[in-house]
Amino acid sequence: MLTETGAILEKLLEQVEAGGDVPRHIAIIMDGNGRWARERGLPRFMGHREGMKAVRRAVTGCLEMGVEHLTLYAFSKENWSRPPEEIAALMKLLSEYVERDKEELAEKGVRVRVIGDRELLSAAALRSVASIEGTTERGDALVLNLAISYGSRDEILAATRTLANRCIAGELTPGDIDETSFASVLYTVGSPDPDLLIRTSGEMRVSNFLLWQIAYSEIHVTPVLWPDFGESDLYEAALEYQRRERRFGRVTR
């Protein structure tokens, strides 16, 4: 007998056979860990710990659906202003995730890339980043972009500086700068723009996440708090995406 999750996946794959698209790239703003913990009278870090299990389910769900790129907002630049104990707990979770999951991710064909401002990361966090990127570098089923110390305005400014310096060095003229050359100096180079942006916990904001890249993404906001987000929620979002008509600013009828 099929579980409810299996039934939703089957429905999604039937739609694909009938010509529906699976999003190539899903980006997720994982929100609501703190509220999940508070509702249970637990410290905030317990919400983040539970959220890590939802990260595993999202990766499994993407592999099952054949999604090629998954970008997860794990720690924003603004998150550096949270209490030091919470930052320490999040960084510890990152190293635990790396140690516990890197081999399995590699076996499943997941390639992990960390995107964000690495200059602010501790030596220990940088070792974790190098370790997971190194172990998984041959993965060819799913690219998992983990956004850590990430801010989209920062990313855009850094890209602008890179291109300005290339102009000064005479490698480029300002007239050569176009969407392709700009995208090639963003952290996300190598991943197509997200087809689907999911935000959990019901907030209607993009929170400085992938501002350039989500220009034409479909947006799915769910009230589910991130620690409760499961494969079936991901498949539901993909089914809703299939029902949307993407026009990219054009008229289609």
Binding of ligand FPP by 45 (CB under 6 A): no
Q: Which of 55, 121, 196, 198 binds ligand FPP (CB under 6 A)?
A: 55
Q: At what angle do helices 231-243 and 4-17 cross, to 10 degrees?
A: 30
CA 193 – CA 145 distance, rounded (Å): 12
Number of residues interacting with ligand FPP: please give it, by CB under 6 A.
17
Least separation, in Å, of the C-beta of 169 and ligand FPP? 37
d(CA 206, CA 185): 21
Selected binder of ligand FPP within 52, 115, 132, 142 (CB under 6 A)? 52
The token pair that represents 170 in the structure block: 């005479």
Contact flag: residue 33 with ligand FPP (CB under 6 A):
yes
26 binds ligand FPP (CB under 6 A): no
The correct pick among 11, 24, 35, 108 for binding ligand FPP (CB under 6 A) is: 35
Q: What is the number of other CB atoms lying within 10 angstroms of the CB of residue 212?
A: 16
For the question of residue 33 being annotated catalytic, the response is no
Does residue 74 touch ligand FPP according to CB under 6 A?
Answer: yes
Rounded Cα distance between 74 and 18, Å, is: 35
Q: What is the DSSP string of 200-212?
A: -TT----TTSSTT
Look up 145 and say whether it is catalytic.
no
Q: Which of 30, 65, 106, 163 binds ligand FPP (CB under 6 A)?
A: 30
Contact partners, residue 137, CB within 8 Å, separation at least 6: 111
Residue 191 is a binding residue for ligand FPP (CB under 6 A): no
Quote the tokens at residue 108: 């499943």
Applying CB under 6 A, the residues found at the interface with ligand FPP are 30-35, 48, 51-52, 55, 74, 79, 93-94, 97, 146, 226
- Provide the annotated active-site residues: 31, 79
